[in-house]
């Protein structure tokens, strides 16, 4: 089943008229931004104009005049973030080595189901995480988390949020994807950081913290991209130019962000404090 759009009197399938765009863009975007979660960082989408029609795309469309837009993820999973809900037909084509999505029917592009419903492909690391969203557990491996935070400079609350989402603090956890231990390290990641026993809580937390430090340096402190890469791999984040449109990764990122806020509050760090 393909997604169908909600259209106002100023909209037409495949885009919007210029008059409708000018009259309603500011109001619509402000209203939709209000639905976005404040805890998820912005990412870039594109408003593209061609033949007096406006479309949304994940990269500049060939032949269109495109403007970059910063959007945030909404409370309900939505591929177009705070610019949604966009439920029109969606088209895709691989450009420059990455899959690009657009609401415009472009010759040579294939119509697809809504990207927000995409499941991770076979072999992907993407997962929702075995830990459930719940109250902070400050008693679980507290000394190891504090020590890893001191050694790596990664915030204690962030380490705990990742562990909570990944394994629910189960040192013996093993996922169907092959991840192991408290921090759910994949075997190749464990080897890269010299983790001899992934089921040792101290080794797993230390290796996970060093891996997160590497990701934080790579993404210049953008915790949304750090969580996405920890979940689905650096290659997936690079391929999509941001958080991949996998339902598993989208749900995981939102869960980690929510847990992070809870652990910060439980550890006495108010919202907005460094």
Domains, the chain, ranges and CATH?
Answer: 11-117 (no CATH), 142-266 (1.10.530.10)
Query: What is the reported pLDDT for 274?
Result: 60
Query: What is the reported pLDDT for 80?
Result: 63
Query: What is the reported pLDDT for 162?
Result: 97
Query: What is the reported pLDDT for 237?
Result: 87
Phi/psi at 225 (5° precision): -70, -35
pLDDT along the chain (274 residues), means of 10: 31 39 32 28 78 87 89 53 59 84 89 63 78 90 97 97 96 92 95 96 97 95 92 87 81 91 88 58
Query: What is the reported pLDDT for 44?
Result: 80
CB under 8 Å to 243, separation ≥6 — which residues?
43, 73, 224, 225, 228, 237, 249, 250, 253
* Tokens encoding 269: 């760090």
Task: Give the span between the Cα atoms of 259 and 255, in whole angstroms.
Answer: 6
Task: Looking at the chain, list the stretches that DSSP marks H as alpha helix, in order from N- to C-terminal side.
Answer: 18-33, 142-152, 156-167, 187-192, 201-218, 223-232, 234-240, 247-266
Query: What is the reported pLDDT for 256?
Result: 93
Query: What is the reported pLDDT for 245?
Result: 75
Query: What is the reported pLDDT for 30?
Result: 27
Task: Give the span between the Cα atoms of 58 and 69, in whole angstroms.
Answer: 10
Active-site amino acid positions: 166
Predicted structure pTM score? 0.60
Query: What is the reported pLDDT for 193?
Result: 95
């Amino acid at each position: 089943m393909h997604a169908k759009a909600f259209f106002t009197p100023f909209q037409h399938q495949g885009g919007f008229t210029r008059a409708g765009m000018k009259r309603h863009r500011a109001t619509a975007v402000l209203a939709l931004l209000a639905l976005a979660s404040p805890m998820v960082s912005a990412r870039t989408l594109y408003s593209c104009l061609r033949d007096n029609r406006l479309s949304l795309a994940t990269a500049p469309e060939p032949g269109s005049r495109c403007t970059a837009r910063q959007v945030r993820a909404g409370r309900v999973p939505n591929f177009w973030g705070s610019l949604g809900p966009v439920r029109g037909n969606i088209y895709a084509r691989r450009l420059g080595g990455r899959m690009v999505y657009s609401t415009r029917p472009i010759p040579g592009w294939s119509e697809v189901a809504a990207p927000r419903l995409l499941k991770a492909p076979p072999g992907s690391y993407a997962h929702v995480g075995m830990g459930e969203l719940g109250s902070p557990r400050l008693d679980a491996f507290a000394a190891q988390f504090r020590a890893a935070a001191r050694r790596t400079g990664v915030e204690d609350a962030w380490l705990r949020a990742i562990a909570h989402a990944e394994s629910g603090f189960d040192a013996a956890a093993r996922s169907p994807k092959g991840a192991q231990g408290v921090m759910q390290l994949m075997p190749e990641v464990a080897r890269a950081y010299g983790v001899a026993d992934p089921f040792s809580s101290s080794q797993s937390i230390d290796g996970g913290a060093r891996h997160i430090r590497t990701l934080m340096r790579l993404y210049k402190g953008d915790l949304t991209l750090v969580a996405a890469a920890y979940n689905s791999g650096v290659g997936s984040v690079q391929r999509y130019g941001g958080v991949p449109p996998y339902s598993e990764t989208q749900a995981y990122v939102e869960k980690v962000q929510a847990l992070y806020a809870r652990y910060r509050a439980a550890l006495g760090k108010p919202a907005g404090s460094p």
